Structure 1
Amino acid sequence: MTLTKSKYYFEALDYFPFNLSECMDALNYALSYEPEDSDSLCLMGRIYSEVLKDYETAKNFFNEALQNNMGNVNIPKYYIECLLNYEDYDEAEKLIGFAYTIKGIDKADILRCKALLCERKEEYSEALEHLKNAERFSYCKEMTATLKERERFIRKKMPKMEKEEKVI
């Protein structure tokens, strides 16, 4: 990571998502200095996924970022969310399995993504199990609150019979 590339990457990160014009300018500069930088490619993927809703292009950026640095702990969370939004559940499941093995990754966040995958597949009981496991790896109040809120949300979505079976 060159100093110049870092400067432009951090500028882009600072502008995202509130000033996309400046963000894109800074990101393009960063990528011109180091076209294979995984963090810059990941941010570009986020722009295409979260803002432009162009999931195919986003997937290409995320794939390239992962190919350039498979150990980058920042990429999987955003890539998984992109795949879930694109309803590419099989690919999301594979990536979750891989991401969980990356040393230093936030396991609570990856398990939260796994719960989201189960929720989207209407496997609510399994989603709740993943949220419980995620709590074990949660080391901050904000993540624990997020997991608890998600659990309440899923319980409200569960069909009545499933809720009653859990109580008994």
Structure 2
Amino acid sequence: MEPTRIHAGDSAAWSRDVPDRPATAGWGLRYVFSGPSRQVVEALQATPYQVEVSAAITSSWAPGLYRWVALAFRGDQRLTVASGTLDVMANLETADPTDARTHAQKMLALVEAALEKRIPKDQQSYEIDGQRLDRIPIEKLNALRLQYRRELQREKNTSWPTGRPVFYRLR
């Protein structure tokens, strides 16, 4: 079974059985990955076919979502025998530091910062030199804060190690 997620720089191995196109009849199997970059991996001639991708090879793969196809080939014959997607995650040993917060975490921080700045300045809008600036109403910011708190709660519930949801009271 092909992996659905790997980290760049990790090795990966899997097998694929193609009974109609066996290696013993002169067939080969090739995987083509297309996404942020294009990668081609040849399977080892065995029954079932064996695929081994070394850490040195995946270390050059750009992070992102790849579509892949498994192609059986012999001479000028070719047949797509399987397809899917592979999510290549960044190699954290070599990747630049990044903000690992989710979208909801980032947005909640921004909304709360906006609310903190709005409280001392009770202006809804103002105009300077003909340029008008309207601020997001506090009610809308509060609604956004509640929306992103709920989204964060859903993230926590689905990532809980026991698989059981945990309920929190949001205020």
TM tier, smaller: under 0.3
Comparing both chains, which one has the higher relative contact order based on Cα–Cα distances under 8 Å and sequence gaps of 6 or more?
A: 2
Report which of the two has the higher share of helix: 1
Flag the structure with higher strand content: 2
Question: Which protein shows a greater Rg?
Answer: 2
**Structure 2 length-normalised TM:** 0.24
